[in-house]
Amino acid sequence: MTDLSQSVVATIAASIASPSERWRQRARAHLDTLTKPLGSLGRLEDLAAQMVAILEDKHSQPLRKAVYVFAADHGITAEGVSAYPREVTHQMVLNFLAQGAAVSVLARLHGAALHVVDVGVDAEFADVDGLIHRKVARGTANMLRGPAMTDAELAQALQTGADLATDAVAAGETMIAVGEMGIGNTTAASAIACAVTGAAAVDATGRGTGVDDAVHGRKIAVVEAVLQQHFAGLSETAAPLEILRCVGGLEIAAMTGFILGAAARRCIVVLDGFISTAAAALAIAIAPAAQGYLIAGHRSQEPGHALLLERLQLRPVLTLEMRLGEASGAVLAMPVLASALSLYTQMATFASAGVSEKA
C-alpha cells in the first residue's frame, strides 16, 4: 500500500505543466535569425530551445547552477552485490564535504553550488558541517527479503526531495544536477529499469562499482529474484510508487521527489547516470509533464541506463564511458548547456550585424 506516498506526490504532480510550447517556438524562430547557417549549431539549438521553454522570460538572466547529491545505504548489500562495503557510502559523504571527490572538483570548477544530503546513510554524522541532514532511516531493508521501505519512509523521502527543490528555486537556483551516493544502488536501479521497461535482468544489470564475473552473475540472479518476489504475475507494469517501496532506495525516492518538485517550479534538471535516470523514470510515470524539464547529462556504461534513456526518449549531452555517479556526468554537461543558452542570448542576428542572409 502506498497511500501516504501517493498523497505526497499527488499535489505536486497536479501542479506540473509542460514547458511552454509558445516559448519553444519563439526560441526556434530566434535561432534561425542568428548569424549562422540554419541548424548549424546542431543539438545546441535543441537544448537552447528547451531551456528557453522552461525558463521563459528568465532565460536571459545568468544561470544559477547547483548540484544535489543524495546519499543512502541499501540492505541488498548483504547479498554480496557490490565490490565495496556499505561503509563507503559514509566515507564518500565525508569526502564530498572535504572537497576531495570528483563531483566536488567539477562543481567547484564549473561554478555549481554543491549540496550533499543524508537521506539514509547507515551512520551518524552529528556535527558535520555542510551536510544537509534529512535522514529517514539508516538504509533500506533488504529488498530480496521483503519491501525495501515502508510507505511512511517512502513518503518522507519523497517529501524531502520535493522540499529541497522548493528551497533550491527559492534560493534562485535555475539549473540543477541531480546525483547520488549509495553502495548497492545500481542493483536497485537495475530492478527499477526491469520493472519499468520489462527488460530481463541480464540486459539491465551491469557491473556497477566494477564487480568481477562471479559477483556480476550473483547480482543478476538477485535482481531476477527481486522481480519474481515483488512483481511476478502482474497483468501490467507495477505502479511507480509500489516499485519504489519494494526496491528502494531512499536516495532514489528523494531524487524522484526532487525531480517532481523542480519540474513544478520550472527548473532545468540535469540528470546524471543510471541511478538518477531510474528516479526520473519513476517521476515521469507519476507525472508525464515532468519530462520536458529533464536533460540527460551523459550516458553511462551501465546497460540499464541505455534502456531507460530510450524509454524516456532522452538523448544524452555527453558520452564519455563514465560510471561514477555522484552527479559527475551531469555537472560536466553544464558548461555545454550554459554555452547553448549563451549562444542563444548573445549571438548577433543577421539584421543587427548587417550580415547578408542566404539567397
What are the catalytic residues? 326
Neighbours of 112 (CB within 10 A): 26
Query: What pairing do the DSSP bridges indicate for beta strands 294-296 and 65-72?
Result: unpaired
246: its cell numbers: 519494494
Q: Please calculate the CA angle 173-179-180 and round it to the nearest 5 degrees.
A: 135
29: its cell numbers: 524562430
Order of all β-strands in the sheet with 294-296: 131-133, 113-120, 65-72, 175-181, 268-271, 294-296
Half-sphere CA count of 77, side-chain side, radius 13 A: 22
DSSP-assigned beta bridge partners for residue 113 = 66
Q: Please calculate the CA angle 324-107-265 and round it to the nearest 5 degrees.
A: 95
Nearest to 140 by CA among 157, 163, 117: 157
What is the biggest distance separating any 2 CA atoms in the chain, rounded to whole angstroms?
A: 70
Cα first-last separation, the chain: 65
- Cis bond upstream, residue 249 (ω within 30): yes
The continuous run of DSSP H or E covering 132 comes out as: strand 131-133
Residue identified by cell 516499485 is: 243
DSSP state of 265: T
DSSP state of 69: E
Q: Write the burial class of residue 313 (CB in 10 Å: 0-12 exposed, 13-18 middle, 19+ buried).
A: exposed
Amino acid at 40: S
DSSP-assigned beta bridge partners for residue 67 = 114, 177
Let me know: does 320 contact 298? Beta carbons within 8 Å.
yes
Integer Cα distance of 77 and 185 in angstroms: 9
